[in-house]
Amino acid sequence: MRQPVSLAHACRLINHGPTVLVSSAHEGRRNVMAAAWSMPVEFTPPRVAVVIDKSTFTRELVLAGGRFALNIPCRAIADLTYTVGSTSGRDEDKFSRFAIGAFAGSALALPLIEGCVAWLECRHIPEPHSEMAYDTFFGEVVAAQADRRVFAGGRWAFDDGNAALHTLHHLGGGHFGVIGDVVQGHAG
């Protein structure tokens, strides 16, 4: 069900503020953590920002490997999302421990998470000041894919027929809002 998304539309995948799973890899180690704080920051080339706390193993792998992926989870994997946001991969591989399926990204060979509805592979843009002061990491999106059942023609297509694939929005403490009604705005 995966299809490539053009870089011109890549930022739309996180435009609505979904919780993401940040995956990373370096020299045989791999990891994935949840992040509620990510956003697009530039259209061309598409660039994103994500907050990666100093305490995380993810941060070590991103700094060492120079790349990360934003995987967009959905209602069907809310438990997994909370789980990888509540445990560290520093001492034990989360993919093995929680039987997380992954496939290799086409551009950067990052582990992309099965069961998600969109995937953005990003080259890390080193910004030592913002990384130290604010834990904010920037990345340039070099490839994107989405599940065609819920993202088609360059836009999300959330409806009652694909409710299990609707994106998650963290409210705190493992509670998530799920993307709901979609309305068409008309410019006056």
Instruction: Answer yes or no: are the C-beta atoms of 119 and 70 closer than 8 Å.
Output: yes
CA-based angle 5:93:19, to the nearest 5?
40
Of 2, 9, 37, 66, which lies in the binding site for ligand FMN, with binding defined by CB under 6 A?
Answer: 37
Closest to ligand FMN by CB, 51 vs 157, is: 51
DSSP letter at 110 equals P
Provide the residue count of the chain: 188
Minimum distance, C-beta of residue 50 to ligand FMN, in the bound complex (Å): 7
In the chain, which residue ranges form alpha helices assigned H by DSSP?
A: 57-65, 78-84, 94-97, 128-134
What pairing do the DSSP bridges indicate for beta strands 136-147 and 102-104? unpaired
Q: Distance between CA atoms of 50 and 101, rounded to whole angstroms?
A: 23
- Contact region with ligand FMN (CB under 6 A), list: 66-74, 85-93, 106-114, 126-134: 85-93
- Exactly one of 5, 10, 13, 52 binds ligand FMN (CB under 6 A); that residue is 52
x/- letters, 89..128, toward ligand FMN (CB under 6 A)? xx--------------------------------------
Residue of 16, 86, 109, 182 that binds ligand FMN (CB under 6 A): 86
Token pair of 29 as six digits: 């180690």
Q: Is 35 in the site for ligand FMN (CB under 6 A)?
A: yes
Residue with Cβ nearer ligand FMN (89 or 111) = 89
Q: In angstroms, what is the minimal distance from the CB of 55 to ligand FMN?
A: 6
Residue 7 or 85: the one with the smaller Cβ distance to ligand FMN is 85
How many residues line the site for ligand FMN (CB under 6 A)?
Answer: 21
Query: What HEC string does 54-102 produce?
Result: CCCHHHHHHHHHCEEEEEECEHHHHHHHHHHCCCCCCCCCHHHHCCCCE
Q: Is 33 in the site for ligand FMN (CB under 6 A)?
A: yes
- Residues making contact with ligand FMN (CB under 6 A): 19, 31, 33-37, 51-53, 56-58, 82, 85-90, 170
